[in-house]
Amino acid sequence: MGDHDIETDLRERIARSAFHSWVGMELVAAEPGRVEIGLDAAEHHLNLQGTLHGGMIATLADTATGLAVRSMVPAGSRHVTVQLDVHYLSPGRAGHVTAVGTTVRVGATIAYAEADVTDERGRLLARATATVAVTADRG
């Protein structure tokens, strides 16, 4: 698939997903090995200390790394995240948040990807790493 097709494919996946609509995530950009996700963090995404909940940051990182791997594997294959490690570096606030997922290595059965989550001023809120299993579709 070309870059345009990849972005179209991922955009359709997210549009079909009740989860992504409910959370409020949108696909900002996609090319092979790099996917950018956006979220307008609102009050209900914050914890009691008024900062972006760690689970939301993990959700963004999981989505960005998973789709980055998705953008690098054949259309018929499946990807399943087996491990996600998130390092929280600065507290996030309400406002626009971006997660950029990039693949570092995509092997035949295992992929490794990373994500940076930043706020609208470009401050790094979290850095995440993910191990993703890739399998040929059994369908």
User: Which residue ranges make up the site for its own copies (CB under 8 A)?
Assistant: 13, 16-19, 21-23, 43-49, 53-56, 58-60, 62-63, 66, 78, 80-91, 104-105, 109-110, 112, 114, 124, 127, 129, 131, 133, 135
Pairing of strands 77-88, 95-106: unpaired
**């609509």: which residue's tokens?**
21
| 4 vs 78 by CB, closer to its own copies | 78
How far, rounded to the nearest angstrom, does the alpha carbon of residue 34 sit from its chain's CA centroid? Answer: 10
Helices (DSSP H) in the chain: which residue ranges? Answer: 3-15, 18-23, 54-70
Q: Supply the minimum distance, in Å, between the C-beta of residue 64 and its own copies.
A: 11
Which is closer to its own copies, CB of 7 or CB of 62? 62
Q: Please report how close the Cβ of residue 74 comes to its own copies at its closest, in angstroms.
A: 16
Q: Which is nearer to its own copies, 93 or 127 (CB)?
A: 127
For residue 37, the tally of other CB atoms under 10 A from its CB is: 30
Assign 17 to helix, strand or coil.
coil
Local structure of residue 27 (DSSP, 8 states): E
45, amino acid identity: H
Least Å distance, CB 19 to its own copies, is 5
Q: Which is nearer to its own copies, 53 or 93 (CB)?
A: 53
User: Least distance from C-beta 65 to its own copies, angstroms?
Assistant: 9
